Structure 1
């Protein structure tokens, strides 16, 4: 029951924003009383915190599964991008903005976890790509791993990338292409253009 509540809360929070959704609305969507939710999560803040961790763990687990498949470095990033976009349901900037504004402790705690995961993912991906000759051998790995994460945060900033001018999926795809075009070799560029063509056909 607890995981079902988290799954429904995650869906509603990502779609509507953490501030906009009430405990009554979650209970109504699940066909249960609000008291049932409170037996598992005594406050809305506790539910938001647990839901943020739930989404983070789901995404992290899925990313690790893709990494375990040991794909080509460029293909790996495309797979991860598609997985994240699918699971965040084209997340708008509003959920992140509301979390940061109204629940800053939760926001910064999750952001720190994301930072560790994404920077390590990027470091490993860069080393793999360099070893396989699809990324340049002279890349400053530590710098790129950090600037890539900062870029991920930046494209979620509604002041710079407002809806409906940019969708989350569009921004994510553009950010990934921008990142890869800066680091690929001639060999890597051929792979990148092949994957971009496939992506545009979908």
Structure 2
């Protein structure tokens, strides 16, 4: 990879460019993608890194491939580039409520996409109250507090999965679900939400039955 980088720099110098500056920009582009996980071409401050990642994609694919990641996106209609793990880790570090919110976001995106409720940037708009209601309906769990939801969404925003538009009140906000969502949460992962709900519903029904039997016996 070091030789690949040196070759890119040498070619830049040979063509009258500034190889030293290009090296700095390449490192910065790699750092930006690593930190954000997804970069969007039209986001403020992203175009320079986005274009460099596309222009030297082979180099970056080798670089991130050595770390166990692959680059996705980058086609003319995608408007985004992202990193996904080549092999999923054995253990996920996300908390349960984070995982459930992520799955609900993905589910909502999927259903809205089928209804053609998507803007020119491939985003789906949803307000916070609707999201929380969908969370309750689909997971059969109590909705998270608004402050906790904002914490979760902040993490997702930093990864390029959502945009959050505040309405002047933390309880009233709009979300824009971004096209990276279906890349991060595939169909198999989405199916796990239904499995979780089914198990939770069965356990709840069993608990209610035990309570009824105990009451009858007394």
Superposition TM-score, scaled by structure 1 size: 0.26
Larger radius of gyration: 2
When you count helix as a share of all residues, which structure comes out higher? Answer: 1
Of structures 1 and 2, the one scoring higher in RCO (CA 8 A, sep 6+) is 1
